A and B are shown apart, each in its own frame.
Chain A
Amino acid sequence: MSSRSFVFADPNRCIGCKTCMVACIRSHTGSEVTGPRLQLVTTRKVSAPISCHHCIDAPCVKSCPTGCLYSDGSRVGIREEKCIGCQNCVLACPFGAIAIGSKPKVELFGGISFGAGQEPVVVKCDLCVGRNGGPACVEACPTEGLYLADGAFLSSEAALKHSKAAKTAESFMESFSNATF
């Protein structure tokens, strides 16, 4: 079983209110990157925020020429200083969960820091690493429609589907009951 987790929305509960997006901005207060790291997507039938799945064999990591994006045991992480803004990762991500933003560039000159325009930076879900209580978006969702799909969540979902699948066998149980093998 994988030890990877990602934030997952139930479209039956999502009301498109963007509380998750604001919770994301708030939990990254102090970061130079502005804007939410998950995006509400709406189609005619579905509303759900989309965010990084922290794929095990992550296409974004493979596409990154500088090692800015990396994969460790638990997630896809970012080394912000290595981003060159090439946008390979934006193209590679099958979910559209990565964007390139900008942050103020600071240069040191003789021990004094100077503002030097803007520099690019990868913007994507970091699972609120280090935050007590886990991802802020999951905690804030007023309809309890966001989950941290971790190992336990995925196996309980799988168990539910297993028992549903087993129920479908009821219809042909009888046909086997008298069978002799």
Chain B
Amino acid sequence: MEKHMTVCPYCGAGCKMNLIVENGVIVDAEPLDGVTNEGNLCLKGLSGFDFVNDTKILTPRILYPMIRRTKGADLKRVTWDEALDFTAQKLLEIKEKYGPDSIMLTGSSRGPGNEANYVMQKFTRACVGTNNIDNCARTCHAPSVIGLMDTIGSGAMSVSIPGLEEAACIMLFGYNPAASHPIVARRIVKAREKGARIIVCDPRVIETARIADIHIQMKNGSNLALLNAMAYTIVEEGLVDKAFVDAHTKGYESWLDVVMQYSPEAVEDTVGVSADLIREAARTYAQAETSIIGWGMGVTQQRQGVQTVHAIASLACVTGKIGKPHCGVAPVRGQNNVQGSCDMGMLPNLYPGYQKVGDSKVRAKFAKAWNVSVEQLSNKEGYKLTDLPHGVKDGTIKAFYNFGEDPLQTEPDSADMEKTLKDLEFFISQDIFMTQTTALADVVLPATSWGEHEGVFTASDRTFQRFTAAVPPKGECKHDWEIFQELSCRMGYPMRYRNTKEIWDEIREVCPQFYGATYEKMEGLGYAQWPIPDVDGEGTPDLYLGGTFNTSDGRALLLSHRWVAPTEEPDDGYPLVLCTVREVGHYSCRSMTGNCRALAQLADEPGYVHINPIDAESRGIRDEELVWVYSRRGKVITRASIDERINAGAVYMTYQWWIGKCNDLTMHVTDPLSGTPEDKFSSCDVASIGDQVWAEQHMEMLYNELKARLAAEAAHQDEPLPSYAEIQ
């Protein structure tokens, strides 16, 4: 038996753990005493490892390279040389014919790690010659990154995960830590036991609402109205920290103009709670010694995501609830390395270390480090991931390189996304599983999985931690960074890294904020929390201490905005609000957790639509029955869970299910400032199904068909390689 140290590959909590290996197979996992998890793991950490072993419960691993020699042909297993030559030649042809900006790439915020992402963006910028690189933060916390950079200068959590436990007040806004980050929720339970006041603003009775001092059970889509009313209360009741505002902020007067139009009494109908409750929450937040606002997708996946983040950051600034320990803002990241993807510059406007692509000094620095001329680095901001559908439609995007993502499952309006991927001239998918997305690719490149490679992840609170390999790569899987490097060499920009440490050391050199995070420091349970400009110490748990912000003049910019109603409000045809949420035992597109025995046993297709008892009764729906959910985009079958924690007039579906797939129903409308979809609000209806026996059989049939289709695509890799004579 061997033990190999790693970091959990699921949420952004950054839990350290051991993988236990017997005879070359991962058989168990155990928690380690990491800085964020203190010897704890949740259900995904404890039992989310066996997907590595290619269990084929949901869909097979891809172990050999495959290509479609012509569009629409069957996948064929080929050698790595042929796959890479083919890919390089196609990309060069497209670049020659349509220009570098016709090629779009997406990074992976999951298992690959920071080094692989860094090499991919370097390939994108220095070899392809475009800034068309993005990552799944676009669908989640991009509004937080943009909104916080606008106001306080850095897009990350200003506090640390351990620091949550020390706050005197925690306000959770559109954030359900118990489902998204159980090991962060643990800190909130502990904070409460230490006497912290807990405020929850959420339309549902989420777990933390149950134990909160104040629960504002607001209407869906009323975020900005509520935040403005809290700001109004703070001004009217004299709770503004004037000294902090004068010394460390600007824009107070224009901020005030908007918020003074939102008295709590005036927004009672919009928010759906009493003015007194709003006032009490505002007072509690402002009067506590230290307060932290945590938020999640309930803030960002909305029409006014960026503007809501402006309001949150401004609220923290006017009350002086930022700039001291255990006090600040906490946009907690959903994927294990989504903070890392952003750190590594998998963003169309930023180089690694949040350095702007439009800044000529920054470009000159990277040109020198990467040994290219400044002219070779594009000064134009690239496309966002959510620009892909219309980019393909209007012919500006011709090729798409998908790295470890499953947009067909995770992006809104799947039917439209499927058409987008099929209409591409050339589509590359580099992944570990035959997902619904990979099944459409012209080139399938098999990468090593978490557990088979090493590197550095960034936890949600800016903590860099190393993870190691536990088992050797399966089949012919290559490390992600090796694949990019070999492709880059073939396309005329040679890279010659020998290991992840060489890559990491280059990252440290080009990103001053990360310089002190050496591999040696992160050995074992070691960690480094950026900014860490020097090799001494463990970095910076709390940002902006003393009120110095990362803006050009060191002051925070206060911003406020008027509330606007959501895009697609319920009507007679579609009277319910549809909101997409998380399943605690599954993760993202479910390709990983769906292939884990215990997790699949605990929850499987078609998932649930959670519905209030009143809405269920009026539709004749009984608990656990299969039902139809339909919207203007489509119709899916799922199971009803009649749940008194759900507000009447809204239903909730988790986005992991491949049959009960809520993204067949959601719409592709995005916040214009961030390109993030409005996944938290669209309209739908639910209908009962009379013949439950038929419904169960139908659901089972759809599931079996999907699994069989993916298995058949993956089976092409088991075909023998053509002999040399045949190739000639």
Contacts and interface: CB of A to CB of B under 8 A. Distances in A.
Interface in B153-181: 177-179
Nearest to A15: B178
17 contacts: A13-B189, A14-B207, A16-B179, A17-B42, A17-B584, A18-B585, A22-B43, A22-B47, A22-B602, A25-B598, A25-B602, A26-B46, A26-B47, A42-B645, A44-B644, A46-B210, A142-B182
B211 interface: yes
A4 B186 CA distance: 30
A22 B585 contact: yes
A35 B645 contact: no
Contact of A23 (B46, B585, B599, B601): B46
A23 B28 CA distance: 12
Interface in B97-140: none
Interface string B584-621: 11000000000000110110000000000000000000
Contacts, number: 78
Nearest to B211: A12
B178 A16 contact: yes
A26 B183 contact: no
Contact of A18 (B40, B189, B602, B643): B602
- The winner among A15, A22, A35, A47 for most chain B CB atoms within 10 A is A15
Contacts of A47: 207, 210
Contact of B601 (A11, A12, A25, A142): A25
A121 interface: no
A17 B601 contact: no
A21 interface: yes
A19 B207 contact: no
Interface string B419-444: 00000000000000000000000000
Interface residues of A, number: 27
Contacts of B598: 22, 25-26
A142 B207 contact: no
Contacts of B177: 15
A25 B47 contact: yes
A143 interface: yes
B186 A15 contact: yes
Contact of A142 (B42, B205, B585, B602): B42
Given A17-B42, A25-B601, A47-B210, 6 more contacts: A15-B189, A19-B46, A23-B43, A44-B210, A44-B645, A143-B185
B41 interface: yes
A43 B185 contact: no
A17 B602 contact: no
A13 B601 CA distance: 25
Interface string B192-208: 00000000000001011
A164 interface: no
Given A15-B207, A44-B645, A35 B601 contact: yes
Contact of B584 (A16, A23, A43, A140): A16
Contacts of B599: 22
A18 B584 contact: yes
A17 B184 CA distance: 12
B22 to A, nearest CB: 13
Interface of A: 11-19, 21-23, 25-26, 34-36, 42-47, 140, 142-143, 145
B186 A142 contact: yes
A34 B599 CA distance: 12
Contacts of A43: 644
Given A16-B207, A142-B40, A21 B602 contact: yes
Contacts of B43: 17-19, 21-23
A21 B42 CA distance: 11
Contacts of A17: 42-43, 178-179, 182, 185, 584
Question: Which residue, of A35, A45, A143, has the highest number of chain B Cβ atoms within 10 A?
Answer: A143
A168 to B, nearest CB: 24
A47 B185 CA distance: 14
A23 B43 CA distance: 7
B15 to A, nearest CB: 9
Nearest to B188: A15
A45 B210 contact: yes
A177 B183 CA distance: 52
Contacts of B211: 12
Contacts of A18: 43, 584-585, 602
Nearest to B603: A18
Contacts of A42: 643, 645
Given A19-B182, A25-B598, A35-B601, A143 B210 contact: no
Given A16-B207, A18-B584, A34 B178 contact: no
A76 B644 CA distance: 34
A42 B207 CA distance: 9
Contacts of B185: 15, 17, 143
B191 to A, nearest CB: 12
A142 B207 CA distance: 15
Contact of A22 (B46, B178, B205, B207): B46
A143 B207 CA distance: 13
A140 B182 CA distance: 12
Nearest to A141: B40
A18 B598 CA distance: 11
A16 B41 CA distance: 14
Interface string B607-644: 00000000000000000000000000000000000011
A17 B584 CA distance: 6
